[in-house]
Amino acid sequence: MSLARRELPPFVDYVVLPAVNVITAFAAAGLVVLAIGENPIEVVKIMIVGALGNAENIGYTLYYTTNFIFTGLSVAVAYHAGLFNIGPEGQSTVAGIGVALVCLAFDGAPWWLVLPFAVAASVIFGAGWALIPAWLQARRGSHIVITTIMFNFLAATLIVYLLVNVMGKAGSMATETRMLTDATRLPFFATLLKPFGIDLGQSPVNPSFLIAIVASVAVWLLVWHTRLGYEIRTVGTNSQAAVYAGIDPARIIIIAMLISGGLSGLLAVNEVMAVQGRLLIDVAQGAGFVGIAVALMGRSHPLGIALAAFLFGILYQGGAELGFDIPKITRDMIVVIQALVILFAGALGNMYRPMLERIFARRPAARAHEAEA
Amino acid sequence: MTEFFDMIIPVIGSAVRLSIPLLFACFAGLFSERSGVVDIGLEGKMLGAAFAAGAIAYHTGSAWAGLMGAIAVSIMLSLVHGFASITHRGNQIVSGVAINFLASGLTALLGQAWYGEGGRTPQLPDSARFLQIDWPGVASARASLGELGNFYANVISGHSILVYAAFVMVPVTWWVLQRTRFGLRLRAVGENPLAVDTAGISVGRLRYLAVIIAGVLCGFGGTYLAIAQSSEFVRDMTAGKGFIALAALVFAKWRPFAAMATCLLFGFLDAAGSRLQGTPLPWVGQVPVQVFQALPYILTVVLLAGFIGKAIPPKASGVPYTKDR
C-alpha cells in the first residue's frame, strides 16, 4: 500500500489529511442540501443547536456517542489486526439477547448488582457471535467481510425468531420482551444527577457512557502498551513477518475478533439495560455501521474514535431535529453524510496525499538537518 | 400428486421471479470480482437504480426510459467505486460500504424531498411498467395439457421481459468469460494483473470496464424491483438482496451457471418460506419462516467452512494494482 511514499510530517499525516478529507465529505453533503433547494448553513445551525443547545440535547448527543464509541472501538481493534469487521451490528444484536436474558433472570434485583453480569453477558454474547467468522478467517481463510455480513443477517433473523416464538412478552403480538423493573434498569444520568441540581431533562445518557470511556482507555492500553497489542498490530501490518517473530496469526486473528465482538456487545448494555429497558428487534439501529465511519475518521485511535463518535452523536441528535424545522431534509441526511465520510475519509483517504506531498514533503536536506539536531 | 403439483408449480413460478434481482446482482458481482474488484456495493447500486427507474418511469411514462435512467445511475455509482478502488487504490470494501449508505440515504432523502411520500416514488400506471408477457397458447395449454400446461403457464410464460433477459444473460456471460479475448483478459486481470500488464494491456481500463458492466447489470436488477415486480420505488426496497447475491456468488464459486442455479435455489427458499408460513411440513412440523430467510446465509457459511468443497475467490480480488515505479 505505502509503496515508495514520500514521507509526510506526522502533523500533516494525522491532522491535516484527515481534516481535508472530512471537510470534503461535508462540502459534498452541503452540495446535496443545495441540490434539494435548502440552505446548508441553516441546516448546520439547526443541527448544532439541536445537538448542543441545552443540557437535555447534549444528554441525547452523548447517548448516541456511547453507542458509536463501542462500535468504533470494535471496528478499530479488528482493523489493527488487519481485519475488516463489518459485523458490529449483528454482534451487538446477539449481545442484546444476552443482556436481556441476564436482566430478565435477575429482574427486581438492584441495578448495580446486575450490571456486572449484564456487562459480562454482553461481552460474551458479542464475542461469541464474532467467533465463527473469526475461526473461518483464521483456519479456513474465508473472507471475514463476507462472513460478518452474513452473520449480521443471521443475527437479525435469530432475534426475530426469539422475540416472536420464545422471549416475546406473554399475551402480546409486539415483538419485544417485557419491560425491566425500574430497580433493575440502569438509571439515566438525568435521574442520578437530579438530587445535585443538574437537569438533563428526558435525555437517556447513562452510566454506560462511562463504560465507553473506560473501554477507550483500555483499548489504547491494549493496542499500544501490551504484548498482545503488539502482536495484533504485527499481524495486521505483515502477518508473514509475524510468523517469523513467533506469533501465530490464526490465534491473534481469533483473539482480536473476540475483543472486537465484545466491544460491539457492550452497546447492548446501553440500549437494552438502560435506554429501552427491554429487548427490541433492532438493538443497534445502524450504530454498527456508524462504527465503520467512526473508526475510519478516528484513524483507529481511541482518542480519534471518541471525537469522531461525538461528531456523529451531534449529527444523529441534530439530524433528529432537522425534520421538524426543514421538512424537506429528513434524518436520512445523516446516512448521506455518513456515506460521504466513509467514502472520502476511507476509500478515497489518500486522494489528497500526492497534493499534500508536493506541499509538505520534507526535502532530504531538511531531514539531514533534523538528524544533526 | 395433482395436489402437490398444484402447490409446487406456483411456488416455482414465484421462485423464478424472486431470483431475478439476485441473478442480475450476482452476475454484476461476478464480472467485477472476476476482474479483481470486490464489490459489496451491489445492494446500493440496485437501490439507486430502483429509485431512478421508479422516478424516471413516472416522469416520462416510459418503462424503457426508466431502465436507461436506472442503468445510468448505477453506472455512476460504479464509477465512484472504480475511482476509489482502481484509480486511487483505496480499500474496496470501504468503498462498497460507502456506496451502500450513499444509495440508501440519497434515495430516501431525495424521494422525500421530491415526492413527499415517505421516500416512495408515485404509483406508476401499467403503461410505464414492464408487464408480464403471456406466451401464445397459455389458456389452451392450461386447459388441455394438465400439469405440463400449468407449468408452461406459470413458470415458462407470464414473466416480464427482464426475466427472460436475465436468463439470456447467463449463457452470454459464460460465453464472454470463457470464449472471448475480453473474457480471458478479464479473468487474467483478476488472477494475475502483473502478467496482464506485462502483456501491454491496461489493468485499470479492464477493471473499469468490468465495474461498468456490473453497473449495467445492477441497473437491470433495480429496474426489475421497482417497475416490473412492483409499480413504485419504496425506500430500502432491495432489503438485503444485494448481499444474498453476494452470498450466491461465493456459493457458486464465481461461475456463471452455478451462480444461476444458486440464485434459483435462494429464490426458491424465499418463495417456499412465504408459501409454507404456518403450514406444517411432514416429519419436521411447522418450520418458522426465519429458517428459510436464514438458509441462504447458513448454506454459504457452511460452504465457506469447507464442508462442501472450497470456495476460492479470484486470486487478485480486493487487491489494488500498483504499477512498479
ipTM of the complex: 0.90
- The answer as to whether B111 is a domain residue is yes
Higher-scoring residue by pLDDT: A195, A265:
A265
DSSP codes of every residue in B144-168: HSTHHHHHIIIIISSB-HHHHHHHH
CA dist B236 and A13 (Å) reads: 37
From the candidates A85, A153, A282, which should be mutated to test the interface with B, based on the most B CB atoms within 10 A? A153
pLDDT in tens, A32-59: 999 988 889 988 899 899 999 999 999 9
β-strand B280-281 against B285-286: which pairing, if any?
Answer: antiparallel
- pLDDT of B325 strictly over 60: no
Beta bridge partners of A115: none
Q: Write out the residue range of the structural domain in which residue A147 sits.
A: 63-313
Interchain pair B288, A86: CB under 8 A: no
Q: Number of CB pairs < 8 Å for A and B?
A: 150
Residue B139: which domain range? Answer: 2-304
Q: Which of A32, A157, A289 faces B290 most closely, judged by CB atoms?
A: A157
DSSP at A278: S
d(CA B199, CA B206): 13
Interface with chain B: mutation pick from A94, A148, A348, highest number of B CBs within 10 Å: A348
Task: Name the closest residue on chain A to residue B251, using Cα atoms.
Answer: A146
User: Which residues in B lie closer than 8 A to residue A351 (C-beta atoms)?
Assistant: 88
Residue B40: list chain A partners with CB under 8 A: 145, 149
pLDDT in tens, A165-209: 888 887 777 788 888 888 899 999 988 888 888 888 889 999 999
Q: Does residue B279 lie within any of the structural domains?
A: yes
- Domain annotation covers residue A24: no
* pLDDT tens-digit series, residues B207-242: 999 999 999 999 999 999 999 999 999 998 998 899
> How many Cβ atoms from other residues are within 10 Å of residue A371's Cβ?
7
Entry pTM:
0.89
* CA separation for the pair B309, B46 (Å, rounded): 30
Number of domains in chain B: 1
Q: Is residue B270 part of a domain?
A: yes
In a domain, B318, yes or no: no
With cell 444527577, the residue in question is: A193
**A322-356 as b/e: b if 16+ CB within 10 A:** bbeebebbbbbbbbbbbbbbbbbbbbbbbbbbeeb
Q: Do B108 and A1 touch (CB under 8 A)?
A: no
Q: Using CB atoms, pick whichever of A84, A140, A332 lies closest to residue B109.
A: A332
Chain A residues within an 8 Å CB radius of B247: 146, 150
Please indicate, yes or no, if residue A291 is contained in any of the structural domains.
yes
Searching chain B, which residue's CA lies closest to the CA of residue A135? Answer: B305
A321 in a structural domain: no
In a domain, B185, yes or no: yes
In a domain, A160, yes or no: yes
Is residue B23, in this structure, part of any structural domain at all? yes
Q: Do the chains contact at A36 and B89, CB–CB below 8 Å?
A: no
Q: Which of B94, B301, B325 sits opposite A347 (nearest CB)?
A: B94
Cell 480499500 sits on residue: B91
Question: Domains in chain A: how many in total?
Answer: 1
Domain at A215, CATH number: 1.10.3470
Stretch B86-109: mean pLDDT: 92
Q: Do A84 and B93 touch (CB under 8 A)?
A: yes
Residues of A in contact with B322 (CB under 8 A): 3
Write the CATH number for B155. Answer: 1.10.3470
Chain A interface, best mutation among B40, B43, B89, B93, by max A CB count within 10 A: B93
| Residue B266 lies inside a defined structural domain of this protein | yes
Cβ atoms of A284 and A271 closer than 8 Å: yes
User: Does residue B96 belong to any structural domain of this protein?
Assistant: yes
A44 found inside a domain: no
Interchain contact, A329 vs B243, CB within 8 Å:
no
Q: Does the pLDDT at position A320 exceed 90?
A: no
pLDDT averaged over every residue in chain B: 89
Tell me the pLDDT tens digit for each residue of A127-177: 999 999 999 988 887 788 889 999 999 999 999 999 988 888 877 777 888
Cα within 13 Å of Cα(A343), Cβ side:
28
* Record: contact A154-B294, CB cut-off 8 A: yes
Residue B325 is given by DSSP the state -
CA dihedral B280, B284, B290, B294 (to 10 degrees): -140
